[in-house]
Chain A
């Protein structure tokens, strides 16, 4: 059974840097095809994908936020860390950690998100 859990501060001040940790079990980021993505959802808004890190350390970032994001992994600890700089009140959201699969199925390429953490609410306010 795959489980993911997000942890980090509930409150950050504007201009501060946010560090979120995803701790997972039931999967390994040293296994081919395994990846972790971060997704957020501002209150009342749609889901927004932020970043992804793959088993081979490939990294992908949202085109609109890439200058502020850094994603990294610690395979031995089963953890993925997301860093977001220069936080603003518009970054107030629930941040989700998810399992992503990236692989080839025959001639078809599969990239998909299946398991989600429960999410952690981050409020940006002075």
Chain B
């Protein structure tokens, strides 16, 4: 069981906006930056959001991240079929001195 909690699945139709939540604690999300990764099955994860809400070069602005207290959220607007993938949140945990991942959310574009 992951220390960072994500819903196992999410879905939306093309053009819709979907949000994926990530819940942690004061020792991880509450005191460190949150990162989000996108993983298309069969490929390595790709950095989507860093430092809570920043996008690496090349990531569309349809993707946005936010953080409040011990929770974070990834929002995808203008949903497209190519957004169908697994999404993971992650953060460093100061108490464990471990990098933690959420359990992953499988996004389906209907």
Contacts and interface: CB of A to CB of B under 8 A. Distances in A.
A46 B97 CA distance: 19
A48 interface: yes
Contact of A48 (B31, B45, B101): B101
Interface residues of A, number: 24
B2 A46 contact: yes
Interface in A29-56: 37, 39, 46-49, 52
A118 B42 CA distance: 10
Interface residues of B, number: 26
Contacts of A46: 2, 88, 101-104
B96 interface: yes
B34 to A, nearest CB: 9
Contacts of B47: 113-116
The interface residues of chain A, by DSSP majority, are classed as: strand
Contact of A112 (B44, B45, B46, B50): B50
Contact of A113 (B2, B98, B99): B99
Contacts of A52: 99
Given A49-B98, A119-B44, A113 B90 contact: yes
Nearest to B8: A46
List the 4 shortest-distance A-B pairs measured between CB atoms, nearest first: A111-B92, A49-B99, A47-B101, A116-B44
Interface of B: 2, 31-33, 35, 37, 39, 44-47, 50-51, 56, 88, 90, 92, 96-104
Given A47-B88, A52-B99, A109-B31, 15 more contacts: A37-B99, A46-B2, A48-B101, A63-B96, A108-B33, A110-B32, A110-B33, A110-B51, A111-B99, A112-B92, A113-B99, A114-B47, A114-B56, A116-B44, A116-B45
